[in-house]
Structure 1
C-alpha cells in the first residue's frame, strides 16, 4: 500500500485502458486540487472587491505619493463633458486619452449614463460601498495567503514545485515547438505539463501572486510601521499600488487564457483531472509506458 501511495503522489500510477483513448493517470494530487478551487474563489472575490476599492481613487501613480505639484500619473479613469452637453468616459494611460464610454468612466445607456470608473457589473458590491469592499477584499486575501502557504509546503515536500511547475532546460528547448502546436490548436495530453503551462503556472504561483500579497501589505497602514522595508522594496506606496493593479490584470488575463485552453484541449478530461485527479493521456504515451 505504501508503494502504491508513493506512485500516485509521483503521478506514475495508471488506471484502466479505454478503447477510444489512452490510459488514465493520476495527475493532480489532493493538495493541488483543493488549493486550485480555493484560489479560484478567492481571486474572483478579490478582483471584484478590489475594483470597488479602486473606484474610490481610479488613478495610479509611481512613487511615494500622488502628484499635486507634479504629475506622476500612470493611469487615470474618469469622465468629461462633451460639447453637446453629454458625458463620455476617458481613460488616460501615461497621459494619452482613450474614449472608453460604455465600459470605463461612463457606463449605462446614453439617456441615463452612470459616471463611475469601474461599472457596477464588475464590482462587489455592485453599489458603491468602500467599507464593504474592503471587508470582502481583506477576508479573501487572508484566505489566499493561508492557501498559498499550504500549497508551498506541500509543493516542496512532494517536489511538485520542481518536478511539475518550474521549467528546466529540456522544457525550454521544446518551447518553439510547443508554441507552434498551441498556435495550431494541436494539444498533447501527457502526464506532465507542457512548457507553456509550466511557464504560466510558475509565473502566477511563484511571481505574480506573491507580488500581489507583498504589494497589498505595502499599502496597509497597519503593516508598514512594522515592515517599513516594504516601502523601500517597492519604491513607495503608490508604486506598490500600481504594481498591485498590474498583477491583478495579469491574474485576470491568466484566468481567461486558462479557461480558453481548458475548453480547447477538452473540458471533460481537464475538469476530471482537477476534480478527481485522474487524467486521460494520449494513446502514444500509453503505448510508450506499456513498452517500458
Structure 2
C-alpha cells in the first residue's frame, strides 16, 4: 500500500500569524515585568484596601535561625519554596525576592522601570488585539473558525474530543482542516474572557483611570479585588500557554510552527481516504 501523501493547506491568514507573534512578544514581556511589579509587594487581598496582616496569598522569606527559606502562604497553609519563590538566587548568594531574576524584567528589583516595560507592552497588546478582532470579525475568521457549530456542541462529540485528546490522538484528513470543539472553546475563552478581563483589571491599577472611571473598580469589588483578579487571570493565561505549547509539540512541532509562520499546514489523509 502506498504511503499517504501529505497535503499542504492554507490554515492561517497573514493577520492571524502577525498578531499571534506580536502577542507572544507582548505577553512574555508583560508577564516578566508584571512579576517585577508584583514583587514590590508580593501579597494579594480582596476588597478595596490592603489588610496587610491578612493577605489571602503572599510570597516572602522567613528566618529559621540557622537558615533563610522562601515561603508562599495561601490562607493558613505555608509551603517551602526556597530557590524558586521568596528566597532565590545562586546557592551562597540567595536573597529575599519574590521571583528569581531570570523570570523578571528588568532582572533586578526596579518598580519604576518594570512599570515602564509593562505599560508599553500593555498598549502594544491592546492595539494588536483590536487589530485581530476588527480583521477577524470583518473577514469572518472568528465566526467561521472559532464559533462552535451545533454539531460541535453535541455531548457525544465533546466527550469524543476529550477522550481522543487525553489519548494524544489527533485528527487527520478533513477533520484536521478545522478546529475541534475543545480548541474553539479554549481560544474563545482566552480571547473573549481572559484577555479582556486582564486588560480591564489592569486599567484598575491606574490611579488616573480610576479617577475618570471609578465605576470599573467598583464593578470588580474594589482595587485590591481587581489586583487579585488581574493576577489570577494572568496565571490562567500562563496555564493556557503551557497547555498550548504541550499540544503543539505533541501534535507535530514543525507542522504547527510552519503553519504559524507560512500559513501552510500539512494534512495526512485518513487511510480510508487513500485509494
Q: If the length of structure 2 is used for normalisation, what is the TM-score?
A: 0.92
The counterpart of 2:29, out of the listed 35, 45, 57, is 45
1:125 shift after superposition: 0.6
The counterpart of 2:143, out of the listed 145, 149, 162, is 162
The counterpart of 2:106, out of the listed 117, 125, 132, is 125
- The equivalent residue for 2:84 is 103
Contact 1:49–1:137 at 8 Å: present in 2 too? yes
- The equivalent residue for 1:87 is 68
2: CA distance between counterparts of 1:182 and 1:212?
A: 28
1:21 shift after superposition: 3.1
RMSD across aligned positions (CA)? 2.0
- The equivalent residue for 1:277 is 263
- Which secondary structure does the structure 2 equivalent of 1:25 belong to? strand
Unmatched 5+ stretches in structure 1: 1-17
- The equivalent residue for 1:148 is 129
- The equivalent residue for 2:190 is 204
User: Bigger shift: 164-173 or 179-188?
Assistant: 164-173
Residues 29 and 182 of structure 1: CA distance in aligned 2, closer, same or farther (over 3 Å):
same
1:19 shift after superposition: 6.5
- The equivalent residue for 2:49 is 65
Q: If the length of structure 1 is used for normalisation, what is the TM-score?
A: 0.87
More strand by share: 1
- Which secondary structure does the structure 1 equivalent of 2:35 belong to? helix
Contact 2:4–2:271 at 8 Å: present in 1 too? no
1:22 corresponds to 2:6: yes
Contact 1:23–1:286 at 8 Å: present in 2 too? no
1:77 corresponds to 2:59: yes
1:172 shift after superposition: 2.6
- Which secondary structure does the structure 2 equivalent of 1:113 belong to? coil
Unmatched 5+ stretches in structure 2: none
Equivalent residue pairs, number:
269
2: CA distance between counterparts of 1:228 and 1:98?
A: 37
2: CA distance between counterparts of 1:110 and 1:135?
A: 31
1:36 corresponds to 2:17: no
